[in-house]
């Protein structure tokens, strides 16, 4: 049996029949972009049927997929996000599958990789989309992603050995997860500025078409949190490409002087996810 067929058989083995039927006849390709705990597959080549994405996870990853399902359903009336085709979860062993439509377009990271000169265009589009996201009604959002929640999740990940210290930013190469945790305690921001956040506003999670943002992906961490949760992630990503882009981004977003303390605290926190 071919490797791809073996992979597909493994992922579909415990699926409910309705979900197995929905993915039948598709060609599967593992999508390794991003750092999700779940495995992600692009499904294509089923005649005229649209491309789909399938997420599959076990244990804590299954819980994360369920979290994303709830957030996708809440965000759908407000923002362009993938539509949910089907969701399934089983208890023994714990597994979950989430089947989604594929958004048309290209990720912001791919756009910038192919066309670096489009940096200002991409930055302005990202800022406009983030303003739109952060303008959603906090009082209507049922998901808490604030400091206390994220720190509790981070501690659980440390204790479970899920933190990849080899993937830390250059400034923290050689650190342990516990050292990052200690640094977080030493410089925690006092007053959060709460908005509805994406939670992982990276260039890989933003889809663009013809210079505009047409959707966002991987919303499993979305919820009410300090706006710098999102600002810090994209600030770092843009700075790795061009030192001038982060300042342009925050100015287009509506901030003249970014709070460096909050930026650094949220980048520390992101090391643990």
Instruction: Give me the half-sphere count of Cα atoms (radius 13 Å) on the Cβ side of residue 142.
Output: 7
CA–CA distances in Å: residue 31 to residues 12, 67, 143, 152? 17, 20, 27, 29
26 conformational bin, left if phi > 0, alpha if psi -120 to 50, beta if neither? beta
Q: Would you say 37 and 61 are in contact if contact means Cβ atoms under 8 Å apart?
A: yes
Structure tokens at 144: 């808490």
SS3 69: helix
SS3 21: helix
Q: Would you say 132 and 79 are in contact if contact means Cβ atoms under 8 Å apart?
A: yes
Residues 183, 247, 231, 238, CA torsion sign: negative
- Residue at token pair 């049996």: 1
| Per-residue DSSP letter, 220 | T
Q: Could you tell me which residues come within 8 angstroms of residue 234 by beta carbon, excluding any fewer than 6 positions away?
A: 126, 130, 201, 202, 203, 249
SS3 85: strand
- Residues forming the active site: 200
């Amino acid at each position: 049996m071919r490797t791809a067929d073996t992979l597909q058989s493994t992922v579909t083995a415990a699926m409910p029949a309705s979900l197995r039927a929905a993915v039948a006849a598709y060609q599967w390709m593992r999508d390794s972009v991003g750092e999700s705990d779940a495995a992600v597959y692009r499904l294509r080549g089923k005649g005229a049927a649209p491309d789909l994405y399938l997420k599959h996870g076990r244990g804590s990853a299954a819980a994360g997929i369920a979290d994303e399902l709830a957030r996708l359903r809440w965000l759908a009336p407000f923002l362009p996000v993938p539509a949910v085709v089907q969701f399934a979860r089983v208890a023994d062993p714990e597994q979950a599958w989430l089947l989604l439509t594929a958004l048309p377009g290209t990720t912001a990271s791919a756009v910038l990789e192919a066309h670096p000169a489009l940096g200002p265009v991409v930055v302005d589009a990202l800022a406009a989309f983030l303003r739109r996201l952060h303008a959603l009604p906090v009082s209507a959002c049922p998901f808490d992603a604030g400091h206390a929640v994220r720190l509790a999740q981070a501690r659980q990940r440390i204790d479970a050995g899920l933190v990849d210290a080899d993937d830390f930013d250059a400034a923290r190469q050689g650190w342990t997860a516990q050292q990052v945790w200690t640094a977080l305690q030493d410089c925690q921001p006092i007053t959060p500025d709460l908005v509805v956040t994406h939670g992982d506003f990276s260039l890989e999670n933003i889809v663009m078409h013809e210079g505009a943002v047409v959707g966002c992906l991987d919303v499993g961490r979305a919820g009410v949190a300090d706006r710098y949760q999102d600002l810090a992630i994209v600030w770092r990503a843009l700075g790795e490409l061009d030192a001038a882009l982060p300042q342009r981004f925050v100015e287009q977003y509506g901030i003249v002087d970014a709070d460096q303390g909050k930026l650094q605290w949220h980048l520390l926190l992101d090391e643990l996810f």
